[in-house]
Amino acid sequence: MKSKSTEHNVAEEPSTQLNKRKREHLSISYEQPSIQSFFKSKQPTKNVNDTIEIQINKIKEMRKPDGVAGNAPVDSDGCNYLAEQTKDPTLTEEERHEKEKTFRYQTLLSLLISSQTKDTTTGVAMKKLQEHGCTVDHIMNTPIEDIAKLIKPVTYYTKKAQYIHDTTKILQQQYKGDIPKTIEGLVKLPGIGQKMAVLCMNSAWHNPVGVGVDTHVHRISNRLKWSNTKTPEQTRKVLEEKIPKKYWSEINELLVGFGQMTCKLKPKCDSCLLSSEPGICPYFEEMSIEPEAKRKK
């Protein structure tokens, strides 16, 4: 015969198990998925090259004239657009050759002037030089003080005027009024660094030998995890290993315009196509997760 105490314990056991199951059920029902787990669960399986292709194509879409990053300052006042060009079919071979040399010279000067200067300011300075007469021979006969007045108010206009004079003298004496055809030759010119030389090879000689990296390209490359670097020069070396060569001729202008219009220091993520799909913009996902982490503290 079972004791009363034993009967009592047996009778209570099912009730205790039921309550335990209820508590477990309730604790689970109130758990909310974090933003981080959402992104991880939606993360598509892509290799690095596939992701870069998707990112570049989305940026191209935004950089169309009617896109959210279209009609950026670089699209009218970038170095690709400031040099004088002519397609006059009546020119003789010699005249055409001289025009091409002038085009390359002006492209070089636009890059030299553009350092730490807004594209629109660079555009105004180049127009003044062209109205004055922007050829090697004419600039060589222009006093440095007058060159400075023409390019003012670009950043460091006095120093850049000296660079223009000294560079022009070298071109006249050593290159028959043309510009060097190599990176090595270009970086020896006063005021011309690696980034300018790379861009000049692309724009003036139509020979994309590398990736030009300025502050916009550097910032965006790090946000997209193409690089994890501290300086534009470090970024250039990484991008030349990672970005397919077929994009080298256009990647600078694409990213500069994107940086000017959308991916600024304070980015407009709400209108950016890169934020519309999980796994495409690491920066957007990190910024989305950060507020949640702060709330939990």
| Annotation says 195 is catalytic | yes
- 195, 237, 246, 266: the catalytic one is 195
User: How far is 128 from 86, CA to CA, in rounded Å?
Assistant: 19
User: How far is 220 from 224, CA to CA, in rounded Å?
Assistant: 6
Read out DSSP for 89-103?
A: TT--HHHHHHHHHHH
3-state SS class at 249: coil
User: How far is 229 from 157, CA to CA, in rounded Å?
Assistant: 30
- Of 215, 292, 285, the C-alpha closest to 32 is 292
Burial letters for 182-203: b for 16+ Cβ neighbours within 10 Å, e otherwise?
ebeebbebbbbebbbbbbbbbb
Residues carrying an active site annotation: 195
